[in-house]
Amino acid sequence: MTKFDDLHILCQELIPIYSEIDEEAKQVIERHAEECEFCKKKLNTAANIEITPKEMNDDNTPVKRFKKLFLLKKVNTLLVLTLRVIVLGLITFDFFQRFSQNIPHGIQFEGLRASLVLFYIPLSFVLLMFTWFIKNKRTFWITLILDVLILYFFDNIIRLFV
Ligand SMILES: [Zn+2]
């Protein structure tokens, strides 16, 4: 067996416990990893695992901040859409609860529009402000267009089910 093979076998044993071994032994492994693609990959993986727990406590690394912001935007998008669906659902449910064939439909749809103005507009205003505030631009524009469409066409859509 060559020296390279000997070192390679030793590295297989040592890389998993890389963080606990002596500085000198680390250097031996690193020198071998420079020549051995397999051990280089293994060492990189082991080193990454070693770094991760440290990163967990450090909120200031750019990657961590970026990930947090990305997650915040995703949660924001999900939240603002869910709240809109819930409020529209409640308005629709309330409309059908009160709906009567004996009352002129026009008056009842006035009531539906009034509910939208009273409940949906303030909600959408707050949600749009919040979405703008956290700089979730894409969701801001999408939900703004969605809100305009809902205010214009929601009663027409409900009319289809009456
Ligand atoms: Zn090797």
Q: Are residues 28 and 82 in the same domain?
A: no
User: Are 91 and 149 in a shared domain?
Assistant: yes
Task: Give residue 23 CA to ligand 1 midpoint distance, Å.
Answer: 18
Domain of residue 96: give its range: 62-159
Q: How far is the CA of 108 from the centre of ligand 1 (A)?
A: 78
Pair 50, 60: CB distance under 8 Å: no
Q: What is the pLDDT of residues 68-116, one digit of tens each?
A: 888 899 999 999 999 999 999 999 999 999 999 999 999 999 999 999 9
Q: Provide DSSP, 22-47.
A: -HHHHHHHHHHHHH-HHHHHHHHHHH
Q: Which of 14-23, 47-56, 60-69, 89-98 has the highest mean pLDDT?
A: 89-98
Examine the domain organization and report whether 27 and 76 are in the same domain.
Answer: no
CB–CB of 36/8 below 8 Å? yes
Number of domains in the chain: 2
Rounded to the nearest angstrom, the distance between the alpha carbon of 54 and the centre of ligand 1 is: 27
CA of 36 to the centre of ligand 1 (A): 5
Q: Indicate whether 150 and 88 sit together in one domain.
A: yes
58/69 Cα distance (integer angstroms): 15
What pLDDT, on a 0 to 100 scale, did the predictor assign at position 45?
86
Contact 121, 87 (CB under 8 A): no
**Separation of CA 26 and ligand 1 centre (Å):** 13
Mean per-residue pLDDT, 23-28: 90
Say how many Å lie between the CA of residue 10 and the centre of ligand 1: 8
Q: Judge whether residue 52 has pLDDT over 60.
A: no
Same domain? For 16 and 42 the reply is yes
Of residues 129 and 19, more confidently modeled? 129
Model pLDDT, residue 58: 56
**Model pLDDT for residues 116-146, shown as the tens digit of each residue:** 999 999 999 999 999 999 989 999 999 999 9
Q: Which residues surround ligand 1, an ion (CB under 5 A)?
A: 8, 11, 36, 39
